[in-house]
Homo-oligomer: A and B are copies of this chain.
Amino acid sequence: MTAYSPRLQRLIEALRRLPGIGPKSAQRMAFHLLDRDRNGATYLSTTLAEALAGIERCPSCRMFSEDGHCSYCSATRAASGQLCVVEGPADLLAIENAAGYRGRYFVLMGRLSPLDGIGPKELGLDMLAARLADGTVQELIIAINPSVEGEATAYYLAELARAHQVAVTRIAHGVPLGGELEYVDGGTLARALSGRQPV
């Protein structure tokens, strides 16, 4: 069985470590980079090295941060007394851009999934408990996706907040804006009904 030359073979193997990329896609990417976009390949190689050297996790909110400075952990944000728990960096950014929320965050980087070996420790919930204990948080807002594992995580977080006598709320789940009742799935509709509010 003939294979590609060693460097090309290594490059294909390295590209396979990207999530969702199999052998054929990795091969296609390698050929594309070497044949058509050498500038892009250089850019990817250097930005990757820069990112690895410069990007860390904020010790307080676990969001990616640079140069020891986290723009989501400022004193003015802390003054709001609110702490919003999200699953990942993309969720944080979505709330930041849409919701007018200006409190602090806590990024889990996952959700409780004992079968995959992801427990409270992996999600930094000991750090979260310490923050709830220090008295600066008045309200814990749970903004976890309503999946099966997300529900378990949300339940765990609510218990944690109650144990520290911190008020706990959860973002509303229901019919999305522009959605039509006719086409909304049953689970969502059940949640919308049980979560109905006085007007």
Contacts and interface: CB of A to CB of B under 8 A. Distances in A.
Q: For the complex, would chain A's binding face be called helix, strand, loop or mixed by DSSP majority?
A: helix
Contact of A4 (B30, B49, B64): B64
A41 B14 CA distance: 8
Interface in A48-68: 48-52, 54-55, 64-66
Interface in A14-57: 14-15, 17-20, 25, 27-35, 37-38, 40-52, 54-55
A10 B64 contact: no
Oligomeric state, in copies: 2
A2 interface: yes
Nearest to A37: B17
Given A25-B20, A34-B55, A11 B65 contact: no
Contacts of A8: 51, 55, 64, 66
26 contacts: A1-B97, A4-B64, A4-B89, A5-B64, A6-B66, A7-B54, A7-B66, A8-B51, A10-B51, A11-B47, A13-B47, A14-B43, A14-B47, A17-B44, A18-B32, A18-B40, A18-B44, A20-B25, A20-B29, A34-B51, A34-B52, A41-B52, A42-B49, A45-B46, A45-B49, A45-B52
